[in-house]
Amino acid sequence: MISFCGIALAHPIVNGSGTFDAIAARRAFGDALLDDFPFAAFVSKTVTLAPRQGNPPPRLWELGAGMINSIGLPNKGLAGFVAEDLPRLAELRVPLIVNVMGSTPEEVARLVAAFAERDEVAALELNVSCPNVKTGLLMGADPGETAALLDAVRPRSDKPLIVKLTPNCASPAAVAAAAEAHGADAVSLVNTLRGMAIHPRRTGEPWLGGSTGGVSGPAIRAVALAQVREVRERVRLPIVGMGGVQRGRHARDLLDAGADIVAVGTESFRDPRAGARVAAELEEMGANSGIAGTPLPTGRRRISQRA
Ligand SMILES: Cc1cc2nc3c(=O)[nH]c(=O)nc-3n(C[C@H](O)[C@H](O)[C@H](O)COP(=O)(O)O)c2cc1C
């Protein structure tokens, strides 16, 4: 067992929001899914106040090393999620983390407040990859915006608040520092990197219905490593590291770069058991290599070791 923000986890692997549909998986695999859930905690897809349709199709473009999605955060909205999804997700035998997003700090505060007294919910993840409709600035791209968001949200709940950082900004580390100074309990990174694909038959036209989308998978693994390391150098908060994890080695690298736990995202589309597999590979590596507790040669000190 490990502890993350006071939440007991059986191992350090969780899912990336929006990349594993636990309700659909339960329909497909039945109660066997509950007995042998691939992740140590379940992170919901982003929930918004009002229902959203998402972006027009096409919504996916496959890359040589990952994909671009422009799903556009379709969801039932807060009321639909609480009435229909929350009771089902509460049946999972792992802690539940609900991911929320709003277009103003007040909207996010309302979402956070709605889960404050819900015992089924262990923590909240704030998806800040959204413009503040009042200022036009991305809430997670500007340290001042992030500070204002935390100031609005923090008083509304005692539950751990995890700020999901966007890589599409000048300095995720500066945003993480603002989140830490204004009461966040953890940060998670990376969200997808903005990208686009050109239609193969219509010159110059975007392929995706949303025009641009988010790049994920192995293509972004090196970016994730660099950003996790940079954030670790700025903050003491626990970090959920993610981006292109396919194997235990990739999770190990993120942990060594400074993450406390790791999320598996795109890989779950190829292998729904990826979370459990990565956790097992990681454990085997630890047992076989003596990595845990072994000092690394000078110059390669694990930067996750804090003063
Ligand atoms: C199809 C898809 C849907 C996603 N939906 C969400 C979402 O609803 N909320 C969110 O915060 N991140 C969402 N993400 C981002 C992932 O949680 C994760 O941050 C990102 O994909 C990087 O990890 P990976 O390379 O392992 O996929 C989504 C990613 C994909 C590929």
Q: Tell me: the pLDDT tens digits for 160-209?
A: 999 999 999 999 999 999 999 999 999 999 999 999 999 999 999 999 99
Indicate if the pLDDT at residue 220 is higher than 70.
Answer: yes
Q: Is the CB of 71 under 6 A from ligand 1?
A: yes
What are the chain's domains? 2-306 (3.20.20.70)
The mean pLDDT value for 115-133 works out to 92
Q: Is the CB of 265 under 6 A from ligand 1?
A: yes
pTM score, whole prediction: 0.93
* Atom 15 of ligand 1, residue of closest alpha carbon: 191
Indicate if the pLDDT at residue 213 is higher than 90.
Answer: yes
Using the mean position of ligand 1's atoms as its centre, give its distance from the Cα of residue 214 in Å.
8
Measured in degrees and rounded to the nearest 5, phi and psi for residue 251 equal: -65, -45
Catalytic residue among 86, 130, 165, 175: 130
Indicate if the pLDDT at residue 272 is higher than 90.
Answer: yes
Q: What is d(CA 174, CA 20) in angstroms, rounded to the nearest whole number?
A: 30
* Atom 4 of ligand 1, residue of closest alpha carbon: 18
To the query of whether residue 130 is one of the catalytic residues in this protein, the response is yes
Out of 14, 17, 52, give the residue to mutate to test ligand 1, the one with the largest number of ligand atoms within 8 Å of its CB: 17
What is the tens place of the pLDDT at every residue in 12-43?
Answer: 999 999 999 999 999 999 999 999 999 999 99
Per-residue confidence at 289, pLDDT binned at 50, 70, 90?
Answer: low
Q: Is the CB of 195 under 6 A from ligand 1?
A: no
* Atom 31 of ligand 1, residue of closest alpha carbon: 266
Using the mean position of ligand 1's atoms as its centre, give its distance from the Cα of residue 191 in Å.
6
| Beta strand segments in the chain, E | 2-4, 7-9, 13-15, 42-43, 60-63, 66-69, 96-100, 121-127, 161-164, 186-189, 193-195, 213-216, 239-242, 261-264
* pLDDT for residue 288: 60
Indicate if the pLDDT at residue 287 is higher than 80.
Answer: no
Out of 191, 264, 268, 269, give the residue to mutate to test ligand 1, the one with the largest number of ligand atoms within 8 Å of its CB: 191
Q: What is d(CA 72, CA 59) in angstroms, rounded to the nearest whole number?
A: 8
* Tokens 């999605």, located at residue: 69
